[in-house]
Amino acid sequence: MANKKVSVFFCQECGNETSKWAGKCPSCGAWNSLVEEVIDKTSVKSRAKVSDVKPTKIIDVTASNEQRISTNIEEFNRVLGGGIVPGSMVLVGGDPGIGKSTLLLQTCQKLCLSGVNVMYVSGEESLQQIKIRADRIGEFNDKLDLLCETNLDTIKAVVEREMPTVLIIDSIQTMFNESVGSAPGSVSQVRESTSVLMEIAKGKGIAVFIVGHVTKEGTVAGPRVLEHMVDTVLYFEGDRHASYRILRGVKNRFGSTNEIGVFEMRDTGLEQVKNPSAVMLDGRPENATGSIVTCSMEGTRPILVEIQSLVSKTAFEIPRRMATGCDYNRVNLLVAVLERMRDAKANRSCGIFLGRSDVYVNIAGGIRINEPAIDLAIALAIYSSEKDIPVDEGTIVFGEIGLSGEVRSVSMAEQRVNEAKKLGFKRVIMPMSNIPSVKNIDGIIVVGVSNIKEAVDAISR
């Protein structure tokens, strides 16, 4: 049967296919996300007979603990859940120039020096360009194979012949599958290329890392189904003009999600930051108003960060609200709670008026945190700046704030207090309901508060 070319429309967000263009995707509801592509419709016969396909009883399936391959980079191992799982597929996304290729090339170096066969496939750089970057990173051996190719059929043939333990594809948007008629980087090409690589990973037991470009919204470019197909999704975050980078796991079938690894970009590549709390607090001002230290849990790791706030009289009719590193809407909510703050004992309002003031909130260090446990620190930093009251440098604050001004409990309170003690803090202001869970911690004063008014009184002492 002759090939028949048909025009179809794909959604760039969810990968849904439709025969007609529409302003809104009928599947996910995204606007202006449908793109036209020409594909070949051919009749394909199933290779397997239906009678040959039989289900397997679950009691007949044997499951053994997966043997992980260490990357010899502790921060990378942490995010992966302990190392590389053979046959897994990992998607690494991030802004241009953030360090994705550098991180993976460093991983290749560590793996090949430990005797693991690695193949690095690049569709963006030449062999000479990769060599220049490799010389900057350090020493390599003959366990690393380089291949500059974009044709996926050629790549598949080479991989099946060489059979590396780890395969790295840089990047998925440059790969080209001849069976798909559209251009490289299109929705169809990205989806079908990932399917071929998935077949290689699962069929041959090869661990595959693929690099994905991101859109201006910060998500991996291409169909959203790409993130559902892979086993692990990692995002490399940070300002490329700054030195610190954060590798964040947002999906992991073989480990914990929301784990982070912290790196510093240097002239020799990426260096691990094993104590990010000390790094985030480096250069903290002394006796400054609007500066408070809080503790956030990133996966299983407690990280201390500095919350900064500046409240100033507005020069405009409508005051400005700005948040960097935290949720803007959450800051607006906390400002409203501070204005309605009440003293329960005196049964009177004691809120601060911010209707004619600009409020700026910043998390120092370039890290972004969305955990509600930093609510109390943000609110107290705003109060400290407005009232010009410096907070004691040895105090750390954490807790979630409700709309009524109550301070709610947070998870892993004991780990947060232990991290504060390890870095030399002397006092912790935390939710009263978490006090019973904090036991046998000497050398640090624990102050429990039930509402925001008690927390304000605690920092004013």
In a domain, 52, yes or no: no
The DSSP bridge pattern shows strands 166-170 and 144-148 to be unpaired
Q: Tell me, yes or no, whether 144 and 268 share the same domain.
A: yes
Contact 193, 152 (CB under 8 A): yes
Whether residues 197 and 93 fall in one domain: yes
76: tokens are 């990378």
- Within a domain: residue 51? no
- Digit-by-digit pLDDT tens for the chain (461 residues) are 455 567 788 777 776 778 888 888 887 788 887 877 766 655 444 455 666 778 888 888 876 666 899 999 999 999 998 899 999 999 998 888 888 999 999 999 999 999 999 999 999 899 999 999 999 998 899 999 999 999 999 999 999 999 999 999 998 889 988 877 777 777 778 888 889 999 999 999 999 999 988 766 656 656 667 888 899 999 988 776 677 888 988 899 988 877 889 898 888 889 998 888 888 888 888 889 999 999 999 878 899 999 999 999 998 888 999 999 899 999 999 999 999 887 777 667 778 999 999 999 999 877 888 899 999 999 999 999 999 999 999 999 999 999 999 999 999 999 999 999 999 999 999 999 999 988 778 889 999 999 999 999 999 87
What's residue 432's pLDDT? Answer: 95
Residue 394 buriedness (CB in 10 A; 0-12 / 13-18 / 19+)? middle
Residue 257 lies in a domain: yes
* 310 in a structural domain: yes
390 φ/ψ angles, rounded to the nearest 5 degrees? -70, 145
211 with 302, same domain: the answer is: no
Q: What is the rounded distance in angstroms from the CA atom of residue 354 to the CA atom of residue 383?
A: 10
Mark whether 246 and 290 lie in a shared domain: no
Q: Is residue 61 part of a domain?
A: no
247 and 98 assigned to the same domain: yes
Q: Which domain holds residue 377?
A: 279-460
Looking at the fold, whether 249 and 229 belong to one and the same domain comes out as: yes
Same domain membership, residue 283 and residue 237: no
Distance separating alpha carbons of residues 245 and 99, to the nearest angstrom: 8
State the CATH number of the domain containing residue 216. 3.40.50.300
Which of 233, 253, 274 is at the close of a domain?
274
Q: Are residues 270 and 303 located together in one domain of the fold?
A: no
CATH number for the domain harbouring residue 450: 3.30.230.10
User: Are residues 122 and 18 part of one domain?
Assistant: no
Same-domain check for residues 291 and 205: no
Total domain count, the chain: 3
Q: Which of 249, 274, 299 is the last residue of a domain?
A: 274
Distance CA 327, CA 255 (A): 27
End of a domain among 225, 259, 274? 274
149: left (phi over 0), alpha (psi -120 to 50) or beta: beta
Q: Are 213 and 220 in contact (CB under 8 A)?
A: yes
CA dist., res. 32 & res. 14, Å (int): 13
Q: What is the pTM of this model?
A: 0.77
Rg from Cα positions in the chain: 26
Residues 256 and 291 reside in one and the same domain: no
pLDDT at 220: 66
Tell me whether residue 49 is in a domain. Answer: no
Whole-number pLDDT of residue 65: 65
DSSP output for 147-186? EE--BHHHHHHHHHHH--SEEEEE-GGG-B-TTS-SPTTS
Whether residue 47 is contained in a domain is answered as no
Q: In angstroms, rounded to a whole number, what is the distance separating the alpha carbons of residues 7 and 367?
A: 44
Strand 400-401 and strand 407-408: pairing? antiparallel
Please indicate, yes or no, whether residues 132 and 263 belong to a single structural domain of this protein: yes
150-196 pLDDT, tens digit each = 999 999 999 999 999 999 999 888 998 887 777 777 777 888 888 99
Q: b/e for 139-160, b at 16 or more Cβ within 10 A?
A: ebeebbbbbeebebeebbeebe
* Domain-embedded: residue 360: yes
Nearest-angstrom CA–CA distance, 174 and 176 = 7
CA atoms within 13 A of residue 70's CA, in its CB half-sphere:
6
